[in-house]
């Protein structure tokens, strides 16, 4: 069951041809490497609250930039740009047991794109005309910095991450390439501990989980906006 569900999630992420950025251990050296390799990506230095409205009902997400600064910064930046407005949830898995609702494919902005063709789209940065990808970023419980571009398994880490896949966790979907997440995200419908250390959680639903439980394939995000914490979003050059 776990392998099937993980495979479903991987296939739902964006497709990309990306090389692993580095394979360093989670220490100061890796933090320095990550800072230089990803310095052009937005970061969230603190927390933010994002509100998604789906079928007229709000879903509030506490976005954690303390433990996932790049992943959280990417999400808040896309929300602030209006990228998620009108996008649909193209994958909803509840059977044989609750799993995830997944959305954020920019291709879903076009209602003529069939839902079964969604799941491969990425955010195209208007400044470069190219897809913007972010590194896999997961912070171990006892570490001072996240590790980048590798899962806990490949990094040889046996501890749990700080941000875990509990019910209501919000995380980035990706392909089997670690640094392939872009705009697609998912919300956990149950505790999914077997995903810990493999996918980057960056926040949690704090209000409106009852709305998430009712989402069906094809339902759209009416609006997405940053309620608070936008001042914590930083862009580096």
The confidence score (pLDDT) of residue 166 equals 98
Q: Which of 2-11, 95-104, 205-214 has the lowest average pLDDT?
A: 2-11
* Rg, the chain, Cα only: 16
The confidence score (pLDDT) of residue 29 equals 46
The confidence score (pLDDT) of residue 236 equals 64
Query: Quick one: pLDDT band at residue 124, thresholds 50, 70, 90?
Result: very high
The confidence score (pLDDT) of residue 77 equals 98
Once rounded to an integer, what is the mean pLDDT over residues 153-158?
Answer: 95
Cα angle 13, 15, 20; round to 5 = 95
* Burial classification of residue 166, based on how many CB atoms lie within 10 Å of its CB (0-12 exposed, 13-18 middle, 19 or more buried): middle
Which is more confidently placed, 87 or 15?
A: 87
Once rounded to an integer, what is the mean pLDDT over residues 219-225?
Answer: 98
pLDDT at 229 over 70: yes
Which is more confidently placed, 25 or 227?
A: 227
The confidence score (pLDDT) of residue 13 equals 55
Under 8 Å between Cβ of 70 and 213: no
Report whether the peptide linkage leading into residue 96 is cis, meaning its omega lies within 30 degrees of zero. Answer: yes
pLDDT at 174 over 50: yes
The β-bridge relationship of strands 57-64 and 89-93 is unpaired
Query: Quick one: pLDDT band at residue 36, thresholds 50, 70, 90?
Result: low
Looking at the chain, how many residues does it have? 237
Once rounded to an integer, what is the mean pLDDT over residues 69-98?
Answer: 97
**DSSP label at residue 105:** -
Give the DSSP H or E segment for 36.
helix 28-37
Q: In whole angstroms, how far apart are CA 165 and each of 27, 29, 110, 162?
A: 24, 28, 31, 10
The confidence score (pLDDT) of residue 30 equals 52
The confidence score (pLDDT) of residue 20 equals 32
Q: In whole angstroms, how far apart are CA 185 and each of 27, 47, 92, 145?
A: 28, 18, 12, 23
How far apart are the C-alpha atoms of 46 and 30, rounded to whole Å?
21
Query: Quick one: pLDDT band at residue 35, thresholds 50, 70, 90?
Result: low
The confidence score (pLDDT) of residue 27 equals 47
Options 3.30.360.10, 2.40.100.10, 2.160.20.10, 2.30.42.10; CATH for 2-16+44-231 is 2.40.100.10
Q: Pick from 117, 123, 79: which is nearest to 221 by CA?
A: 79
Query: Quick one: pLDDT band at residue 120, thresholds 50, 70, 90?
Result: very high
pLDDT at 88 over 50: yes
Query: Quick one: pLDDT band at residue 39, thresholds 50, 70, 90?
Result: confident
The confidence score (pLDDT) of residue 38 equals 85
């Amino acid at each position: 069951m776990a392998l099937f569900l993980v495979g479903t999630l991987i296939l739902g992420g964006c497709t990309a041809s990306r090389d692993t950025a580095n394979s360093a251990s989670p220490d100061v050296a890796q933090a320095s490497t990550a800072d230089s390799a990803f310095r052009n990506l937005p970061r969230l230095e603190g927390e933010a609250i994002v509100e998604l409205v789906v079928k007229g009902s709000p879903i509030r997400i506490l976005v954690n930039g303390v433990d996932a600064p790049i992943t959280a910064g990417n999400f808040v930046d896309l929300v602030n740009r209006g990228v998620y407005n009108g996008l649909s949830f193209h994958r909803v898995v509840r059977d044989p047991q609750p799993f995830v609702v997944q959305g954020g494919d920019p291709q879903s902005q076009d209602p003529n794109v069939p839902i079964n063709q969604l799941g491969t789209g990425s955010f195209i940065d208007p400044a470069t005309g190219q897809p913007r990808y972010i590194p896999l970023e997961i912070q171990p419980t006892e570490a001072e910095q996240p590790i980048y571009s590798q899962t806990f398994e490949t990094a040889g880490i046996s501890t749990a991450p700080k941000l875990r896949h509990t019910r209501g966790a919000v995380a980035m979907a990706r392909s089997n390439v670690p640094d392939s997440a872009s705009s697609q995200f998912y919300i956990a419908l149950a505790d999914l501990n077997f995903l810990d250390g493999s996918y980057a959680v960056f926040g949690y639903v704090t209000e409106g989980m009852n709305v998430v439980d009712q989402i069906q394939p094809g339902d759209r995000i009416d609006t997405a906006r940053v309620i608070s914490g936008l001042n914590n979003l930083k862009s580096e050059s």
